[in-house]
């Protein structure tokens, strides 16, 4: 039995694939373009000493129901980790296309889980489901039970993620499906693919390459961060655990401001130049989330922000060796 990873060649998806292969679990990597980033993934598979025979690739257009069903019908699947999603700008610039991908596409996955009796579905939601600035919730870490009304939502992306969560709960109640979803905070690491928050890579990757970094918020801005490998590990553990106590899980690690971010980078790169936009008081995201539930559920503690920065810089230097 295999695990299907949709969006398996993406930023988080490729890390999920590696975490599964480390456990010698066969993986079906499904993505819209199965050539883009494939070489990079296979280099990383070789690096961890795993056989590429464990991996099969499927072209997936999640907006095409027949394409989705074909993948489910031809493969014996134990569980699915769904990361096929239109993010950031596409949701604001082309909400119709984004709806086809994010709402209709995700619902197609729910339908397949029922029809093919898949043991577990896990997908990444987002901290943007909380909508409002931190001030709405007060000076405390946000929990999974918190909610803000639709008038407090800034991102179409977050509204779509919220609908995915509501639909997941409907399928759980109506069909008895086993579904879990995480709400990642700012996921940082190396390998982002031209997204609206490339700053979650640039803050450390640019200095590692001897370049200046520019961040679109003030130095006093606070955000919660989680390293990409740890975000992936959480998804994998939720997929593989026999039984779960909850369906919804916050996915964060550490909250810090711009001053602390700079200090973490400069501990490794003392001459790093990181600039902030002081005209932007804060990002329209929550500052902090309580992640005790997922830590207990899967018995896993994400690395500290500082350790994540070390890992990010190490990867940048390895990949760009000879060009720095």
Closest CA to 257 of 186, 196, 313: 186
One digit per residue, the tens of pLDDT, for the chain of length 324 reads 899 999 999 999 999 999 999 999 999 999 999 999 999 999 999 999 998 889 999 999 999 999 999 999 999 999 999 999 998 789 999 999 999 999 999 999 999 999 999 999 999 999 999 998 888 999 999 999 998 888 888 889 999 999 999 999 999 999 999 999 999 999 999 998 777 789 999 999 999 999 999 999 999 999 999 999 999 999 999 999 999 999 999 999 999 999 999 999 999 999 999 999 999 998 888 999 999 999 999 999 999 999 999 999 999 999 998 666
Question: Is 207 in a helix, a strand, or coil?
Answer: helix
Give CA–CA dist 161/182, Å, rounded.
11
φ, ψ of residue 21 in degrees (nearest 5): -65, -30
Q: According to the model, what pLDDT value does residue 322 have?
A: 67
Rounded to 5 degrees, φ, ψ at 274 are -125, 120
Dihedral, CA of residue 21, residue 22, residue 24 and residue 29, to nearest 10: -10
Q: Please state which of the four CATH numbers 3.40.50.720, 3.40.50.300, 3.30.465.10, 2.40.50.140 is assigned to the domain occupying 2-189+227-254+284-302.
A: 3.40.50.720
Q: What is the DSSP string of 273-297?
A: -EEE-TT----SS-S-B--HHHHHH
CA distance 5 to 24: 15
Structure tokens at 127: 């901290």
Give the pLDDT confidence score for residue 97 in this predicted structure.
95
Q: For residue 40, what pLDDT is reported?
A: 93
Burial group, residue 150, by CB count within 10 angstroms (0-12, 13-18, 19+)? exposed
Distance of CA 274 to the CA centre of its chain: 25
pLDDT for res 153: 85
pLDDT at residue 135, as a whole number: 87
Measured distance CA(120)–CA(122) in Å, rounded: 7
The domain segmentation of the chain, as residue ranges, is 2-189+227-254+284-302
- Residue 100: the pLDDT is 97
């Amino acid at each position: 039995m295999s695990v299907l990873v949709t969006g398996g060649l993406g930023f988080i998806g490729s890390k999920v694939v590696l975490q599964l292969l480390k456990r010698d679990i066969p993986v079906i990597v499904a993505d819209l373009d199965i050539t883009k980033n494939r070489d990079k993934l296979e280099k990383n598979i070789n690096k961890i000493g795993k056989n590429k025979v464990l991996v099969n690739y499927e072209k997936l257009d999640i907006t095409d129901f027949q394409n989705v069903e074909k993948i489910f019908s031809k493969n014996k699947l134990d569980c699915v980790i769904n990361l096929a999603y239109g993010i950031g700008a596409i949701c604001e610039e082309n909400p119709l296309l984004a709806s086809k991908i994010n709402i209709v596409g995700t619902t197609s996955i729910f339908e397949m889980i029922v029809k093919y009796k898949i043991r577990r579905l896990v997908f990444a939601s987002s901290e943007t489901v909380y909508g409002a600035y931190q001030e709405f919730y007060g000076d405390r870490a946000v929990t999974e039970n918190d909610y803000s009304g639709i008038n407090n939502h800034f991102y179409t992306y977050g509204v779509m993620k919220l609908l995915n969560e509501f639909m997941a709960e409907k399928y759980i109640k109506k069909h008895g499906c086993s579904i879990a979803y995480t709400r990642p905070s700012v996921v940082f690491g190396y390998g982002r693919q031209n997204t609206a928050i490339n700053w979650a890579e640039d803050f450390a990757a640019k200095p590692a390459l001897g370049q200046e970094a520019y961040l679109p918020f003030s130095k006093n801005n606070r955000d919660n961060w989680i390293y990409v490998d740890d975000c992936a590990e959480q998804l994998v553990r939720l997929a593989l655990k026999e039984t779960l106590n909850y369906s919804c899980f916050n996915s964060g690690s550490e909250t810090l401001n711009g001053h602390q971010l700079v200090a973490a980078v400069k501990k490794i790169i003392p001459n790093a130049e990181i600039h902030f936009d002081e005209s932007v008081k804060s990002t329209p995201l929550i500052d902090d989330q309580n992640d005790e539930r997922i830590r207990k559920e899967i018995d896993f503690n994400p690395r500290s922000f500082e350790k994540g920065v070390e890992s990010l810089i190490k990867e940048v230097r390895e990949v760009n060796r000879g060009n720095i």
